A and B are shown apart, each in its own frame.
Chain A
Amino acid sequence: MYRLVRFGILFLFALAVPTLVGQTPVGNPTESPFKDQDYQRPEKCLPCHQRQYDELRSSVKSGYRNVSPLFNALEVAGNLLNGGLLRPVYSDSVKTTTAADGSIIPLNTNLFTTPAFVNVNQVRAGFCIGCHNGPFLRRADDPTKREVPELAGVGANFLPEQFRPLRDYHLVDVTGKQVIPPEPGGDPPPGSLPSLGAAGVTCDVCHNLAGADLTRSLLADGFANNTLAFNHTIEKVGPFAFPVAVKGNFHVSSNDQSKIALLRSGAFCNSCHDVRVPLAAPGDFQRLERDINPGGQNVLYYRLENLSTEWQIGAYNSTTNPFGKVVRCQDCHMSTFPYAGNSSYQVGDLKITSPTPGIFAENFAAVPGVATDENFPLQKRKVVSHYFTGIDVPLLSTDELKARLGSDYPDAYQPGVDEYGAPKALASRREDLLRAAARISLDNTDKTAKLGETFTVRAECVSLTGHRFPAGFSQERSAYIQLSVTDDSGFLLYQSGYVVDKPHPETGELAPDGNLDDEELEHLHAVVDPGRHTVPYATGQATNGHTNQVFEAGPDDGPEERLFFGRSEGLVLFRNEITRIYLPGQGVGRSDANANPIIATKPHYEETFSAGFANTVDNFRSLQPLVPRTFRYDIKLPTKQQLAEMGIDSIKAPLHVHAQINFEHFPPLFLRFLARTTGPDGPTGHDLKLVSEKRIDDLLKNVRSITSADFTVNIQE
């Protein structure tokens, strides 16, 4: 009899396995049947999940992002332009907005709490914090749990002088009561501690997963803008099919296979790692895209971050990649990658050796002897890392991080390795990840060159990432080719992708400072208008800046020359571009030589460095994964006469071509714009202490030569 029962159990188990394996995530899930539980601080999870806690603490998405000067400055800059429309509204709001048909409708739901969007301002409300602190927006419908208040006045009633960065609200005292710096943007008051909101994407945010929210995602596909549905209960979703009961029922480990399957899939990450920015009609000027859900036809957008779409339709989300299996986001960002050995494979004519994704460490998922009911013994299993290593390091010093996030906040540059041999330092892991991201070859370069004539260098590049490279906020994340041609004595004949140490008077650097990480590439010279404090406040760029005060082609102007003119010269820049198309009659924000404002008479395309000011985007300048692309440089050598004029007899053969791909943390000119617009001369009229020239100089960290190649060219007489 018992044998029969055992057989029955095994049969049922066998029946269940295919359902588990074949799961696809479910949209619009029903409520969890478990009892409610408020969002918990990550410290609550620490006793049983110490390793995960420690790893997550060092990731930028948890904690750092919410106090990041760049994130906060970007959010401030957008609000200064549109009069605070990016700040959340809550269920008790009496604000209204005007629908497309002219009717007035309540505006009392935000990016995270609106069931289905009918108005672009619902997407705007809480737009930035909606991903970086999404579930807290729902929690904040209860005024007693609200960290970020609703603005009293928006649009023309916005009061920039009273406006605070989001991080001002993420501080509490020892009793848990919110404390706010006396002045907007001020330092944390003595003794203050990080609030729950300061923790950013916490354990609960992911493990409260309920499913994809299809009606809140603009293409009804569970992509972008935090379109997940969450439980707010003790049900916590982990990656294992048969979880063990938790000690004391602090939480219940979910056995809902659809939730588990979603958590384990790339689709889970897709819900946040596409970002679609709401735009008033007509939307993205070069691409018609709108909310396809019923009632959403007036909600248009442009794709600021397209990472998830890139992965979803790319080779890694298929079996036709070098690894013969789907490589999920988790396989690179939550595994032992890039520290678990290499694979060699062919991509086009390139032979590649790169780290192998999808290898996971074996460990306990919870602390043995502490975590399980009746001390049920735990087994070691394949576990994920919670480092979530990406391409970012904090733009805050360790002391500043500790002041805002707690005295135990890890140093991004700390020495040592973890139990798996991976560097503890976020900065080192970031660098290693970047070195796994791309390869370059010069093998198809012309083999000979002649004085006074042009020869062609061919730099073949391939991205090995699951998405395009770079990805994410790819209009500011930059990778580029640094290329040089020298003769055998070191005489520099050509350079591209170079930087020059120079002064930056606009942010107070009056002389070159010896630092190159704070220098802009030479394809473009631009300075962005920070705006100015005006009373009364008016929305728009006339007083709030965001236009280009200086905008001119530089000597290494590759991006424009290569794309629009088709010329094989200048900088190869893997940076997507947000663009403002000025319409006839609109000022571009600078003056001609006679001090007359330059007004567009026809549609004028110009790169902008403000996501809030863009009305179109080019997401195809980054490097496509696993599809090599060759960039040519037609390089003209000096003539004999020119050499003679320089006092040089001849150049010494052979020529040496060196190419390397560098990664730029953020474009310095973009940071200088944020420094100025959130500084004392910007629209708030005081310094919000977010970005400064010193911060740029001290903390902007580029990674040079993530891959390189060399080639020798003979000189033909």
Chain B
Amino acid sequence: MPRRIRIAIVSFAAWVWVTGVAQGQSGYVPGVTFQKDNPNYPPRNPFYFEGRVDWNLLKIDQPSNAWEFEQRGMHKQDDLEDNAGAIADYRQAIAMNNLDNGTCQLVTTAAQANSGAQLTPPPCMFTVRLRLAVLLSGAESDQAIALYNQVLAIDPLRLGVHASIAEVYVHEAETALNAGDIPGLYAQAIGEFKAELALSPVTALQVQLTGDEANNAHVHWALAEIYEKLSQPADEMRELDLYLKATKYHSDTYPWRIRLAQKKMEKAQAVEEAAKPAQDNN
């Protein structure tokens, strides 16, 4: 046998043996051997994951804790348009994560979160309360407001909660059977909208950094609508002016409101101008 062929055979046999050994060393399959716990399931530490995991990725047959009920509720609400099913799951989640029955707690010190140990009971969750509150805001407004207030107890700085409470009061005012209740409901709505504005005030630094003279266009629009209903034109015009300032560089999802606000202000100014000669004559 020629030498070259013998060398080739020996080399090949050696190679086969080496690769076989290499295989034998390896029980390792990337992503399977070690990352076998579902990487899409976030274990609590110290807070629950306050987001939404695609339900199919969680691989849960039946929810077994507050967080899992919340996640299934989100799936029902967002993916299946099953609001009734979502409400049931959110209620179950809150029953299992509740200050009243001692199954959750408010975190009031940094040390609680930094202790390195899981909090017992766990922190109260806010996402599930917000979502349930929104779904209940039409039919069960008291419950909705209570849930929003629970969220403010969990995180008083969270944006949008005061505005959401205000919207519930506006809805209550619009559907009130007793006309005498309406001013009070609107007053509460105004208070909540103002609390929302106070969370992100327009400061001198903000004007310097952004050029914005007002922000939170939707709150100013909502306030203007309330003042219109309360026949408080000066307040309405002030809010419309702030709305226009807030939309100057940011427009609006409903851009026709900008045109409407301008028309309303032009009309109000025309009325004011028309009133001036009369006043002068007097």
Is A516 an interface residue, CB under 8 A from the partner?
Answer: no
Cross-interface CB contact of B78 among A283, A527, A566, cutoff 8 Å: A566
Identify the stretch in B154-162, B171-179, B185-193, B273-281 within 8 Å (CB) of chain A at 4 or more residues: B154-162
| B209 and A583 contacting across the interface, CB-CB below 8 Å | no
A490 to chain B: which residues have CB within 8 Å?
none
| A645 and B263 contacting across the interface, CB-CB below 8 Å | yes
| A19 and B209 contacting across the interface, CB-CB below 8 Å | no
Distance between Cα atoms of A409 and B7 in the complex (Å): 46
| A553 and B253 contacting across the interface, CB-CB below 8 Å | no
| A525 and B114 contacting across the interface, CB-CB below 8 Å | no
B255 to chain A: which residues have CB within 8 Å?
492, 495
Distance between Cα atoms of A550 and B216 in the complex (Å): 12
A712 to chain B, nearest CB (A): 20
A616 to chain B: which residues have CB within 8 Å?
47
Report the nearest A residue to B135, measured CB to CB.
A566
Is B264 an interface residue, CB under 8 A from the partner?
Answer: yes
Is B271 an interface residue, CB under 8 A from the partner?
Answer: no
| B253 and A16 contacting across the interface, CB-CB below 8 Å | no
A347 to chain B: which residues have CB within 8 Å?
none
Is A115 an interface residue, CB under 8 A from the partner?
Answer: no
Which A residues between 623 and 646 are near B, CB-CB below 8 angstroms?
624, 627, 629-630, 632, 636, 638, 642, 645-646
Is B62 an interface residue, CB under 8 A from the partner?
Answer: no
| A258 and B31 contacting across the interface, CB-CB below 8 Å | no
Is B108 an interface residue, CB under 8 A from the partner?
Answer: yes
Distance between Cα atoms of A413 and B221 in the complex (Å): 45
Distance between Cα atoms of A410 and B34 in the complex (Å): 42
B129 to chain A, nearest CB (A): 10
Known contacts A286-B45, A502-B211; A212/B28 CB under 8 A: yes
Cross-interface CB contact of A565 among B130, B198, B250, B267, cutoff 8 Å: B130
Q: How many chain B residues touch the partner (CB < 8 A)?
A: 101
| B160 and A282 contacting across the interface, CB-CB below 8 Å | no
Which A residues between 518 and 564 are near B, CB-CB below 8 angstroms?
522, 525, 527, 549-557, 560-564
0/1 string, A497-519, CB within 8 A of B gives 1: 01010111110000010000000
B218 to chain A, nearest CB (A): 6
B8 to chain A: which residues have CB within 8 Å?
9
B139 to chain A: which residues have CB within 8 Å?
none
Report the nearest B residue to A552, measured CB to CB.
B200
B251 to chain A: which residues have CB within 8 Å?
495, 498, 500, 522, 555
| A287 and B30 contacting across the interface, CB-CB below 8 Å | no
A491 to chain B: which residues have CB within 8 Å?
256
0/1 string, B104-122, CB within 8 A of A gives 1: 0011111001111010000
| A19 and B1 contacting across the interface, CB-CB below 8 Å | no
Is A431 an interface residue, CB under 8 A from the partner?
Answer: no
A492 to chain B: which residues have CB within 8 Å?
255-256
| B28 and A25 contacting across the interface, CB-CB below 8 Å | yes
Distance between Cα atoms of A86 and B2 in the complex (Å): 60
Distance between Cα atoms of A493 and B251 in the complex (Å): 12
Known contacts A257-B19, A585-B109, A601-B108; A288/B209 CB under 8 A: no
| A505 and B209 contacting across the interface, CB-CB below 8 Å | yes
Cross-interface CB contact of B31 among A281, A283, A309, A565, cutoff 8 Å: A309
B259 to chain A: which residues have CB within 8 Å?
646
Which A residues between 215 and 237 are near B, CB-CB below 8 angstroms?
219-223
Which B residues between 182 and 230 are near A, CB-CB below 8 angstroms?
198, 200-201, 203, 205-206, 208-212, 215-218
| A506 and B250 contacting across the interface, CB-CB below 8 Å | no
Is A26 an interface residue, CB under 8 A from the partner?
Answer: yes
| B39 and A313 contacting across the interface, CB-CB below 8 Å | yes
A347 to chain B, nearest CB (A): 13
| B159 and A604 contacting across the interface, CB-CB below 8 Å | no
Report the nearest A residue to B205, measured CB to CB.
A549
Report the nearest A residue to B27, measured CB to CB.
A24
Is B88 an interface residue, CB under 8 A from the partner?
Answer: no
B40 to chain A: which residues have CB within 8 Å?
313, 620
Distance between Cα atoms of A598 and B158 in the complex (Å): 12
| B215 and A525 contacting across the interface, CB-CB below 8 Å | yes
0/1 string, B1-27, CB within 8 A of A gives 1: 100010011001101101110110110
B198 to chain A: which residues have CB within 8 Å?
592-593
| A638 and B256 contacting across the interface, CB-CB below 8 Å | yes
Which A residues between 256 and 298 are near B, CB-CB below 8 angstroms?
256-258, 265-267, 270, 281-289, 292
| B209 and A584 contacting across the interface, CB-CB below 8 Å | no
Identify the stretch in B52-60, B92-100, B232-240 within 8 Å (CB) of chain A at 4 or more residues: B52-60
| A595 and B203 contacting across the interface, CB-CB below 8 Å | yes
0/1 string, A29-52, CB within 8 A of B gives 1: 000000000000000000000000
B140 to chain A, nearest CB (A): 15
| B19 and A270 contacting across the interface, CB-CB below 8 Å | no
B106 to chain A, nearest CB (A): 7
Is B231 an interface residue, CB under 8 A from the partner?
Answer: no
| B264 and A645 contacting across the interface, CB-CB below 8 Å | yes
B137 to chain A, nearest CB (A): 10
Distance between Cα atoms of A25 and B34 in the complex (Å): 14
Is B252 an interface residue, CB under 8 A from the partner?
Answer: yes
Distance between Cα atoms of A13 and B253 in the complex (Å): 67
Cross-interface CB contact of A592 among B48, B201, B246, cutoff 8 Å: B201
A506 to chain B: which residues have CB within 8 Å?
209-210
| B49 and A563 contacting across the interface, CB-CB below 8 Å | no
B249 to chain A: which residues have CB within 8 Å?
500, 502-503, 512
Known contacts A9-B9, A602-B154, A645-B263; A624/B57 CB under 8 A: yes
Is B64 an interface residue, CB under 8 A from the partner?
Answer: no
Distance between Cα atoms of A506 and B223 in the complex (Å): 30
Report the nearest B residue to A16, measured CB to CB.
B16
B123 to chain A: which residues have CB within 8 Å?
603
Task: Beyond the given A492-B255, A598-B157, please list 8 additional residue pairs across the A-B interface where CB-CB is below 8 A.
Answer: A15-B16, A258-B23, A282-B115, A313-B39, A505-B210, A512-B249, A583-B114, A605-B158
Interface residues of A (CB under 8 A from B): 1-2, 5, 8-9, 12-13, 15-16, 19-20, 22-27, 212, 214, 219-223, 255-258, 265-267, 270, 281-289, 292, 306, 309, 312-313, 317, 491-496, 498, 500, 502-506, 512, 522, 525, 527, 549-557, 560-567, 569-570, 581, 583-586, 588, 590-593, 595, 598, 600-606, 616, 618, 620-621, 624, 627, 629-630, 632, 636, 638, 642, 645-647
Sorted from nearest, which 5 A-B pairs have the closest CB atoms? A288-B45, A552-B200, A502-B249, A312-B31, A221-B34
10 A-B pairs in the complex with CB atoms less than 8 angstroms apart: A5-B9, A24-B28, A492-B255, A498-B251, A505-B211, A555-B217, A564-B50, A595-B203, A624-B56, A632-B81
